[in-house]
Amino acid sequence: MTTLIKVIVAGAGGRMGKEVLKLVLGDKQLELAAAIGRSDAGKDAGELVGLPTAHIQVVADLKQALADYPADVLVDFTTPEYAYEHASLAIEAGVRPVMGTTGYTTEQIQELDQKCQAAGLGGLIAPNFSIGAILMMRFATQAAKHFPNLEIIEYHGDQKLDAPSGTAVKTAEMISEVRESMKQGNPNEKENIKGARGGEYDGFRIHSVRLPGVFAQQEVIFGGAGESLKIRNDSYERSSYMPGVKLGVQKVMEYSGMIYGFERFID
């Protein structure tokens, strides 16, 4: 018989948090230990997402919930300002963090890795849980070996707080690992409007589009002699991330250390 994985969901009242609640409440391999949401404290977790009563009230304080409710994994989709603190609190409580929240510094990721290893816990920081997005990043990395001239364009709704997105940054990091560092474009290029050419990363450009009605898309455009190549992923709704979230929850039970990037789990 498969052992249930007990999950705490932080950011339960947010758009991604609600999808995670639906996943956990509807999956026979997962069990909801607690739901965290400041503005929704006191509400039933099931009723919050339109499901039958779960008899688990949303609570406001993560630290208290970690102390009161035995759990195996924390799934966190909150905001960058709380991400590092939440991951640290989980590790201190012996709970494995699965962080969909981005905005960590390199030093913070290293510190969290050290904390996880010292505690014998697995952890995951994933800028994107979409299987299609991960494959897009992987294919783009392969293409960069042959097409070193490229630009990244990522599209999100106008309520997204960080730019570029965590997915775009992770894509750029993966590409830079295989691409010889070089500055693209005409050396005499001039921006008549500041920022028109986007942000620069290792010599290539990243562009962030923020518009109402847009969900999450990214394309990597490569240019070569007489041809171009475009690799693109389009996510249309948050449910597309849930198979990846479940896989992340399962995988952190199997290893020690903080993994940065969900692509490590895709064969």
Q: Is 15 annotated as a binding residue?
A: yes
CA distance 109 to 188: 38
- Is residue 167 annotated as involved in ligand binding? yes
- Was 16 annotated as part of a binding site? yes
Q: Spot the catalytic one: 22, 86, 115, 156.
A: 156
From CA 32, how far away is CA 187, in angstroms rounded?
A: 56
Q: Could you tell me where the beta strands, DSSP code E, fall in the chain?
A: 5-10, 30-36, 58-59, 73-76, 96-99, 122-125, 149-156, 199-201, 204-210, 216-224, 227-235, 257-260
Kind of pairing between the strands at 227-235 and 204-210 = unpaired
Q: Which of 6, 43, 63, 160 is catalytic?
A: 160
User: Is 11 known as a binding-site position?
Assistant: yes
Check residue 163 and report its DSSP letter: S
Is 101 assigned to a binding site?
A: yes
**Burial class (CB within 10 angstroms; exposed 0-12, middle 13-18, buried 19+) of 211:** exposed
Task: Tell me, rounded to whole angstroms, the distance of Cα 125 from its chain centroid.
Answer: 6
Residue 3, annotated as binding a ligand:
no
Q: Is 127 annotated as a binding residue?
A: yes
128 annotated binding-site participant: yes
| 172 labelled ligand-binding | no
Q: How many whole angstroms separate alpha carbon 48 and alpha carbon 43? A: 7
Amino acid 62 reads: L
Is 166 annotated to bind a ligand? Reply is: yes
Please tell me whether 232 is known to bind a ligand: no
Whether residue 156 lies in the annotated active site? yes
Residues flagged as binding site: 11-16, 38, 100-102, 126-129, 166-167
Residues flagged as binding site for (S)-2,3,4,5-tetrahydrodipicolinate: 166-167
Active site residues: 156, 160
Residues flagged as binding site for NAD(+): 11-16, 100-102, 126-129
Residues flagged as binding site for NADP(+): 38
